[in-house]
Amino acid sequence: MFMSWVQMLLFVSLLFPTSVQSEIRHYSFTVVLKNTTRLCATKPIVTVNGKFPGPTLYAREDDNVLVNVTNLIKDNVTIHWHGVKQLRTGWSDGPAYITQCPIQPGRSYLYNFTLTGQRGTLLWHAHISWLRSTMHGAIVILPKKGVPYPFPKPDKQKVIVLGEWWKSDAEAVINEALQTGLAPNVSDGHTINGHTGPVPNCSYGGAYNLHVENGKTYLLRVINAALNDELFFKIAGHDLTVVEVDAAYTKPFKTDTLFLGPGQTTTALLTTDRGIGKYVIAISPFMDTVVSVDTFTGTGYLIYNNTLPSIPTTMTTMPPVNATWKTLVFAESLRSLNSKQYPANVPLTVDHSLLFTIGVGIDPCATCSNGSRAVAAINNITFDMPTIAILEAHYYGIKGVFTDDFPGKPLMPYDYTGVQPTNLQTMHGTRVYRLAYNSTVELVIQGNSMLAPESHPTHLHGFNFFAVGRGLGNFNPAKDPKKYNLVDPVERNTISVPTAGWTAIRFRADNPGVWFFHCHLEVHTTWGLKMAFLVENGKGPDESVVPPPRDLPQC
Ligand code: C2O
């Protein structure tokens, strides 16, 4: 008996239930000023849809996400989907003047991207000036329908967004710093889902309360959306099992403390097995150098149902602010899951072997307070922002916007972590580093001691990378690569480069476009610790940047 085409199709679709289950997710983000009484008097803050933190974007792996952003404030805005790979869709990546001109007041722009090969927790945030201090929120990428987590199924999920708060307007803080040439004021508090908990000399809007049921497993999606502070996160009386970072699964490991730099995410399982009680949730900063930091611990509470107010709260001790060892142990414990289903595809050969030194310097400035101003640089080049987007200049072949001579190695090698050099001045430029499609890159990010050595959470747009090695002091090209982990190194988009130390990452340049690379401490981004990789198109449309959308903002 022969089947008709229709019967055949029906038959085949019964045998192979459709694997295309991806959906289109529509979101509408309106940028508005909103009064808040959360901390120290009522003041307007910049928000998305009037919320702080902003709305959580939920989707599944492979979904197409459409976010229409309308700007109703007086400043230019952009939004970056931090950690979303944006395969060929750089126009939707978001960093102002790198991939797009900002959305001007009164205008809208539709971000359009697909979540390919990623699952877990990420964040979105404004990517212009310091607006991300209050304009940020979570991205939750659930596994495809019918695909289980590679860990025990949690009973419930909670998003926990950590932030940093200034009593005054964060835009005023950075503008003043740029005028004086000095470091900006440190923040006045740390927030957990928008609440600080008690802060001295402040009236406040309460603490974050996480109400839980006994005997359950919670999946906590923790996001560090702070501007300038790397943070420790702890829940009194409870261990956490880390299962994923930066939307890539890890080998599960148990810890009492999480450590996250700005831009990093950690998803962990929490078992509620204490029966009853109120337990402090605390976040505190890490800073193991002379740079000043907001040392105030932000607090919230984990509260078991049926806990009477008379039951005393269980406190916790946070690691000291300079607990370097704690950060190193945490980093060492992170390994890619590297299972059959989720292999760690570490590039084993390297086409481009790069060494970037990163740090802070001092440039002359006649109008500044001390006749000088703080700057930051990669390979001693302070990045000057262009006035139109580099991706546009690249796509349309517009000359004079950038040069492609970013040095792959320091121009003048010196003892990077040794005695401070006498000349702290940097060069300036808008330079990119050019990569052929699908070439492989090893990048050693070397912290330097130019002004003060400091831990730098460094972020690459457009890719995940593997953190294959790290160490203290100067990277040794003869010895250190022998100790690389090329089997199950952690895969992420933001990595801490230890104070006066180095981190080696590897990635494959399989995403054409222009991809920002910068320290995710916003103060260092502002000062110029940034550059971009330009990845050329490969063959045909599937390996090329998609054409720009018609509503792409103009400068
Ligand atoms: Cu989360 Cu370029 O940033």
The finding on whether 136 has its CB within 6 A of some atom of ligand 1 is: no
CA of 49 to the centre of ligand 1 (A): 21
Give CA separation, 202 vs 35, 167, 189, 196, 297, in Å.
17, 9, 10, 10, 14
Same domain, 313 and 418: no
Cβ neighbours of 44 (radius 10 Å)? 13
Same domain, 80 and 13: yes
Q: Which H/E stretch holds residue 358?
A: strand 352-364
Nearest CA to ligand 1 atom 1: 82
Note the pLDDT of residue 422: 85
Give 393's DSSP letter.
H
**Ligand 1 atom with the shortest distance to the CA of 516:** 2
Same domain, 534 and 449: yes
Note the pLDDT of residue 11: 52
**Rounded mean pLDDT of 463-483?**
98
The finding on whether 263 has its CB within 6 A of some atom of ligand 1 is: yes
- The answer to whether 449 and 418 are in contact (CB under 8 A) is yes
- Give me the chain's average pLDDT, please: 94
**Rounded mean pLDDT of 481-505?**
98
CA of 494 to the centre of ligand 1 (A): 9
Q: Which H/E stretch holds residue 209?
A: strand 209-212
Same domain, 384 and 502: yes
Provide the pLDDT confidence category of residue 5 given band limits of 50, 70 and 90. Answer: low
Provide the pLDDT confidence category of residue 452 given band limits of 50, 70 and 90. Answer: confident
Note the pLDDT of residue 36: 83
Give CA separation, 178 vs 101, 184, 290, 312, in Å.
22, 8, 21, 47
Q: Is residue 150 part of a domain?
A: no
Give CA separation, 444 vs 20, 21, 124, 436, in Å.
39, 40, 27, 19
CA of 3 to the centre of ligand 1 (A): 55
The finding on whether 516 has its CB within 6 A of some atom of ligand 1 is: yes
Measured between alpha carbons, how far is 266 from 224 in angstroms, rounded to an integer?
A: 9
- The domain that holds 9 is classified in CATH as 2.60.40.420
Strands of the 43-48 sheet, one edge to the other: 43-48, 24-36, 64-71, 108-114
Amino acid at 322: N
The finding on whether 518 has its CB within 6 A of some atom of ligand 1 is: yes
**Ligand 1 atom with the shortest distance to the CA of 95:** 2
**Rounded mean pLDDT of 458-482?**
98
Provide the pLDDT confidence category of residue 426 given band limits of 50, 70 and 90. Answer: very high
Q: Is residue 56 part of a domain?
A: yes
- The tens digit of pLDDT for each residue in 162-198 reads 999 998 899 999 999 999 999 999 999 999 999 988 8
Same domain, 314 and 194: yes
Q: What percent of the chain has pLDDT over 70?
A: 95
Rg value, the chain, Cα: 23
Amino acid at 203: S
- The residues, any chain, with a CB within 8 Å of residue 35's CB and separated by 6 or more, are 42, 43, 44
CA of 263 to the centre of ligand 1 (A): 7
Where helices occur in 110-204 by DSSP H, the ranges are: 170-180
Does pLDDT of 472 surpass 90?
yes
CA of 245 to the centre of ligand 1 (A): 16
**Phi/psi of residue 174, each to 5°?**
-75, -35
Same domain, 57 and 165: no
**Ligand 1 atom with the shortest distance to the CA of 123:** 1
Amino acid at 422: T
Domain count, the chain: 3
**Rounded mean pLDDT of 216-221?**
98
Q: Which residues of 90-106 are buried (b: 16+ CB within 10 A; e: fewer)?
A: bbbbbbbbbbbbbbeee
Nearest to 114 by CA among 147, 81, 136: 81
Same domain, 205 and 127: no
**Ligand 1 atom with the shortest distance to the CA of 494:** 1
Does pLDDT of 13 surpass 50?
no
Q: Is residue 25 part of a domain?
A: yes
Measured between alpha carbons, how far is 122 from 115 in angstroms, rounded to an integer?
A: 11
Burial class (CB in 10 A: 0-12, 13-18, 19+), 34: middle
Same domain, 260 and 401: no
Q: Which residues of 114-153 are buried (b: 16+ CB within 10 A; e: fewer)?
A: bbeebbbbbbbbbbbbbbbbbbbbbbbbbeeeeeebbbee
Who has greater pLDDT, 453 or 89? 89
- The tens digit of pLDDT for each residue in 363-398 reads 999 999 999 999 999 999 999 999 999 999 999 999
The finding on whether 524 has its CB within 6 A of some atom of ligand 1 is: no
Amino acid at 254: K
CA of 131 to the centre of ligand 1 (A): 12
Does pLDDT of 262 surpass 80?
yes
Q: Is residue 549 part of a domain?
A: no
The finding on whether 95 has its CB within 6 A of some atom of ligand 1 is: yes
- The answer to whether 550 and 125 are in contact (CB under 8 A) is no
CA of 400 to the centre of ligand 1 (A): 25
CA of 487 to the centre of ligand 1 (A): 27
CA of 126 to the centre of ligand 1 (A): 9
CA of 11 to the centre of ligand 1 (A): 48
Burial class (CB in 10 A: 0-12, 13-18, 19+), 501: buried
135: domain range? 5-142
Q: Is residue 123 part of a domain?
A: yes
CA of 250 to the centre of ligand 1 (A): 22
Tokens of 228: 């300038």
**Rounded mean pLDDT of 131-151?**
97
The finding on whether 431 has its CB within 6 A of some atom of ligand 1 is: no
- The tens digit of pLDDT for each residue in 264-292 reads 999 999 999 999 999 999 999 999 998 99
Note the pLDDT of residue 1: 44
Same domain, 307 and 367: no
Q: Is residue 179 part of a domain?
A: yes
CA of 520 to the centre of ligand 1 (A): 6
Measured between alpha carbons, how far is 384 from 406 in angstroms, rounded to an integer?
A: 13
Bridge partners of 191?
A: 163
**Phi/psi of residue 182, each to 5°?**
-95, 175
CA of 71 to the centre of ligand 1 (A): 20
Does pLDDT of 6 surpass 90?
no
Nearest CA to ligand 1 atom 3: 82
Q: Which pTM value belongs to this model?
A: 0.95
The finding on whether 461 has its CB within 6 A of some atom of ligand 1 is: yes
The finding on whether 127 has its CB within 6 A of some atom of ligand 1 is: yes
The finding on whether 80 has its CB within 6 A of some atom of ligand 1 is: yes
Provide the pLDDT confidence category of residue 7 given band limits of 50, 70 and 90. Answer: low
**Residue ranges with strand state E in 225-276:** 230-235, 240-245, 248-255, 257-260, 265-271
**Ligand 1 atom with the shortest distance to the CA of 518:** 2
The finding on whether 132 has its CB within 6 A of some atom of ligand 1 is: no
Same domain, 85 and 226: no
Nearest to 425 by CA among 450, 442, 400, 401: 450
Q: Is residue 147 part of a domain?
A: no
Q: Is residue 346 part of a domain?
A: no
Provide the pLDDT confidence category of residue 120 given band limits of 50, 70 and 90. Answer: very high
Considering Cα of 447, then 452, then 454, then 456, what sign does the dihedral take?
negative
The finding on whether 82 has its CB within 6 A of some atom of ligand 1 is: yes
Does pLDDT of 451 surpass 90?
no
**Rounded mean pLDDT of 464-492?**
98
Provide the pLDDT confidence category of residue 421 given band limits of 50, 70 and 90. Answer: confident
Q: What percent of the chain has pLDDT over 90?
A: 89
Same domain, 510 and 385: yes
Same domain, 126 and 79: yes
Domain stops at, among 142, 176, 198: 142
The finding on whether 498 has its CB within 6 A of some atom of ligand 1 is: no
